[in-house]
């Protein structure tokens, strides 16, 4: 699948998240307000930030589709990771605010018991968001998009947040009104945790970090390629949904240019087939024994 086509598919996941979050945010904030549930309102506020985060991811996907230019010879694929970082900062800011509001409410001795409608609303929204998570997770794996995978994990955490709000509201029905406030604080903590996970993963990518298991698999594929007598170095990094590999290999010094080129072409084909590597740069050296 071509990279541009993958990014186009990724936009579907971003749009799905945007529409789902807008709908759920409105439902939760309205019902949470009239049903006197701080937990559900905090959950709804979380979804409003998710709208902004999803829009940032959508913009990142759009920028990633721009072709290479004189200032970006490798293209604009890292815009995905930058968009995810922006989304993480937005989520962290709101998460901290939700925690602060929840702590203030906890010490204000408010004892309102939320309406049961807010509990069923939280549970229904959790199920809706879990289905969105499954869709985006499958899509993210198909197109190998870090931003869509991040969106999927955010979807999943939102489903868990809504379940937590549901449990908190149910607790208030049994004479523990403070449980709803505690649920709101937990929501804030989960928002911050999700923001940190997204930030960590994308910061790792932007600093050319690579999964060691993936790198080992790439190296093994190169070693097993016919004609490769030695692998001196293998480096890899990611840009959005692209994997770039640089390697130095040794081959029979008696091979001509055409034969050496065929070896590199075979390596490129195998790396694309097994690891979805987009760009491969192979440096060839003549094989030498230890005695020279």
Which one, of 111, 108, 114, lies nearest residue 36 by Cα?
A: 114
What does the domain layout of the chain look like in residue ranges?
3-206, 212-286
C-alpha neighbours within 13 Å on the C-beta side of residue 214: 15
Please give the CATH number for the structural domain made up of 3-206. Answer: 1.20.1510.10
In this prediction, residue 260 carries a pLDDT of: 92
Residue 223 above 50 pLDDT?
yes
- Average pLDDT for the chain: 85
212-286: what CATH class? alpha beta
Q: Which residue has the higher pLDDT, 60 or 223?
A: 223
Q: What are the tens digits of pLDDT across the range 7-31?
A: 777 888 889 999 999 999 999 999 9
Range scoring the smallest mean pLDDT among 44-53, 72-81, 157-166: 72-81
Residues 231-247 have a mean pLDDT of 87
Q: Do domains 3-206 and 212-286 have the same CATH topology?
A: no
Which one, of 124, 94, 116, lies nearest residue 37 by Cα?
A: 116
Tokens of 207: 């600093």
Residue 111 above 80 pLDDT?
no
Q: What is the DSSP letter of 256?
A: -
C-alpha neighbours within 13 Å on the C-beta side of residue 117: 11
pTM beyond cutoff 0.85:
no
Residue 44 above 80 pLDDT?
yes
In which band, very low, low, confident or very high, does the pLDDT at 248 lie, cut at 50, 70 and 90? Answer: very high
Which one, of 46, 44, 17, lies nearest residue 32 by Cα?
A: 44
In this prediction, residue 232 carries a pLDDT of: 92
């Amino acid at each position: 699948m071509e990279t541009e086509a993958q990014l186009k598919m990724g936009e579907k996941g971003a749009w799905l998240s945007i529409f789902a979050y807008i709908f759920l945010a409105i439902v939760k904030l309205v019902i949470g307000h009239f049903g006197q549930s701080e937990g559900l309102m905090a959950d709804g506020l979380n979804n409003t930030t998710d709208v902004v985060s999803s829009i940032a991811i959508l913009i990142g996907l759009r920028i990633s589709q721009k072709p290479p230019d004189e200032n970006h010879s490798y293209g604009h694929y890292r815009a995905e990771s930058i968009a995810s970082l922006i989304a993480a900062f937005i989520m962290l800011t709101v998460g901290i605010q939700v925690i602060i509001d929840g702590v203030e409410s906890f010490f204000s001795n408010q004892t309102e018991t939320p309406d049961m409608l807010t509990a069923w609303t939280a549970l229904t929204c959790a199920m809706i968001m879990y289905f969105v998570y499954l869709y985006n997770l499958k899509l993210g794996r198909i197109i190998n998009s870090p931003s869509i995978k991040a969106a999927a994990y955010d979807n999943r955490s939102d489903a868990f947040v809504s379940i937590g709000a549901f449990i908190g509201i149910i607790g208030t029905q049994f004479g523990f009104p403070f449980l709803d406030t505690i649920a709101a604080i937990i929501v804030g903590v989960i928002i911050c945790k999700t923001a940190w996970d997204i930030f960590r993963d994308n910061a790792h990518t932007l600093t050319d970090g690579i999964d060691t298991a993936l790198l080992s698999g790439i190296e093994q594929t190169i070693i097993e390629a016919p004609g490769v007598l030695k692998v001196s170095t293998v480096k890899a990094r990611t840009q959005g949904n692209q994997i770039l590999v640089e390697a130095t290999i040794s081959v029979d010094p008696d091979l001509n240019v055409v034969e050496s080129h065929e070896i590199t072409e075979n390596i490129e084909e195998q790396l694309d087939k097994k690891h979805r590597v987009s760009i491969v740069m192979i440096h060839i050296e003549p094989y030498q024994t230890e005695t020279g």
